[in-house]
Amino acid sequence: MERKQGQDRPLVLTGIQPTAGIHLGNYLGAIRSWVALQEDRDCLFFLADMHAITVPMDARSLRDSTLGGVATCIACGIDPDRAAIFVQSQVPGHAELAWILGCHTPMGQLERMTQFKDKSTRPGASLVGAGLLYYPVLMAADILLYDADLVPVGEDQRQHLELTRDLAERFNAAHGPTLAVPDLHISQGCGRVMSLQDPTVKMSKSDGNRLATLFLTDSDDQMRRKLRSAVTDSGQEVLRRGDKPGMTNLLEIFSALACIPVEELEARYAGTSYGVFKNDLADLAIATLAPLREKFFLLRADEGYLLQVLARGREVARRRAAATLARVYERVGFLGPAKSLP
Ligand code: TRP
């Protein structure tokens, strides 16, 4: 698709599900990398609250997590004067385009998606709502609604992006060129922060072990305790190695927080011990994350401001979405947006 007039800067779009507790993995793997993108591109960042209800979700905690997510984005450096921050359910175009795309999506393709297969075969899966099957269609709509050029996501979202490209191509083949097909750009770097208690699994907000996950809202003491009790491997050498998954994870976290290559850290800590390294890592984490935590709490307490940021973001998003939807509606033969009576 050709770029439309007036849109000469590449458009970055990405979403994050509002969940209680943003952790170090979300920060290093996603949010922090968005901050640099806003320098020279138009950016749309949204809280995917409609995706969040594909599993049972308590209303009060969803509202709280959504506003908390906005506060986190701003605290971590996303500037609402440069980037549009909005909430998915406040831009109806996401649901509208998802319906149309869904009508162009073979059921079998959705049933074969890894995330659906994983979740629908777990115990208690008879309670899985159809929304979980439809999840990737909604995500495709999120992206295609804005003619996004770049969609920064982690490796775990690759299949969803491939489906998005597929759906855009299928729609274009059926109706003529309408939707921009986004490039696939999977973020590298510190995309995978592992659990502090079991370095073979990803850090997750829902880990049963309280010490496994470093939350951005943790106090200094909690951060220090979690990092000092992080599982390490036998031996004392501070090295990144296949047989040292615990130390490898901690080195990668240090490296990402300090922007220092792992090799340099290995050289710096040669001949010291795990204890020395972990202490320094705790100091670094506190120095880096405590200011974000303080900003977060200030912002979270000011709901009026957060809602104002969202209202501005929503307008930017709606304007862009309306252009795509008008094209799509015309292609499928809908009469177009209803006009109010004179
Ligand atoms: N599925 C993504 C995740 O869980 C969140 C998401 C929803 C998203 N819609 C999106 C990411 C559109 C990028 C673009 O991380």
For residue 208, being part of any structural domain is answered with no
For residue 249, being part of any structural domain is answered with yes
- When divided into structural domains, the chain yields a total of 2
Active site residues: 119, 202, 205
Could you write out the DSSP letters of every residue in 220-244?
HHHHHHHHHT----SS------TT-
Convert the pLDDT of each residue in 216-243 to its tens digit: 999 999 999 999 999 998 888 999 999 9
For residue 257, being part of any structural domain is answered with yes
If asked whether residues 175 and 252 sit together in one domain, one would say no
Q: Where are the alpha helices (DSSP H) in 76-207?
A: 93-102, 107-111, 114-120, 130-144, 158-175
Ligand 1 atom closest to Cα of 142?
12
CATH at residue 107? 3.40.50.620
CA of 142 to the centre of ligand 1 (A): 8
Q: Which two tokens stand for residue 56?
A: 């049972």
CA of 207 to the centre of ligand 1 (A): 21
Q: Could you give the angle at which helices 93-102 and 303-332 cross, rounded to 10 degrees?
A: 40
Residue 331 has pLDDT above 50, yes or no: yes
CATH at residue 261? 1.10.240.10
Mutate to test the pocket of ligand 1, among 85, 160, 202 (most ligand atoms within 8 A of CB): 160
Convert the pLDDT of each residue in 55-78 to its tens digit: 889 999 999 999 999 999 999 999
Ligand 1 atom closest to Cα of 152?
13
The boundaries of the domain holding residue 320 are 11-191+303-340
Least confident of 96-110, 153-167, 301-315, 319-333: 153-167
Output the pLDDT for position 187: 67
For residue 206, being part of any structural domain is answered with no
If asked whether residues 148 and 280 sit together in one domain, one would say no
pTM of the model: 0.90
Of all protein residues, whose CA lies closest to atom 13 belonging to ligand 1? 14
Q: Report how far residue 86's alpha carbon sits from residue 209's, in angstroms, rounded to the nearest whole number.
A: 32
If asked whether residues 279 and 311 sit together in one domain, one would say no
Of all protein residues, whose CA lies closest to atom 8 belonging to ligand 1? 15
Q: Which two tokens stand for residue 113?
A: 């998606």
Give, in degrees to the nearest 5, the angle at Cα 127 between 123 and 131: 120
